[in-house]
Amino acid sequence: MDDTSHPAPGVPVPDPAQGVYGISVAAALSGVSVQSLRALERHGLLTPSRSDGGTRRYSGDDLARLRRITALQEQGINLAGIARILDLEDANSGLHADNSDLRTTNTGLHADNFRLRAEADQRREPEPPQPRH
């Protein structure tokens, strides 16, 4: 395994959503030209953050998205198609996250319901025995 793939112990790793790479570094890391990065931004496929001075700052998430764009381009998909695919993938990811949250909530509600029913059953006074005739 390559030792450069992991930071040294104690070295902070930036949040994947935090823009830390300048455009030339992002271009070098991705193998995409600076001009292509700007074109992808103009088409709305990438939206790097900006420093206070207006300099583009690419995040790890931006680089991952760029790898996805490049893979789709290699399949012969045009930029409009790529935009639609990425929009659908983003929406699908959001729906998966929502579904996971709902499942977790549902599991908790079922557990609460079971617990509350058990507590209610314990509080109920036993019915008096019915006389036999």
> Model confidence over 20-63: pLDDT tens digits?
899 999 999 999 999 999 999 999 999 999 989 999 999 999 99
Return the exposure string of 50-82: e unless at least 16 CB atoms fall within 10 Å of the residue's CB, then b.
eeeeeebbbbbebbebbeebbebbeeeeebeeb
Dist. CA 91–CA 97, nearest whole Å: 10
Which class is 14-76 in CATH?
Answer: mainly alpha
Domain boundaries, the chain: 14-76, 79-122
Contact 68, 77 (CB under 8 A): no
- pLDDT for 6: 62
Residue in this structure with the two tokens 């557990």, named with its chain if needed: 111
Mean pLDDT for the stretch of residues 84-108: 96
Mean pLDDT for the stretch of residues 64-77: 96
- Lookup: tokens for 24: 């030339």
- pLDDT for 113: 95
Q: How confident is the model at residue 7 (pLDDT cuts 50, 70, 90)?
A: low
Query: CB-side exposure of 63: number of CA atoms within 13 Å?
Result: 21
Contact 29, 63 (CB under 8 A): yes
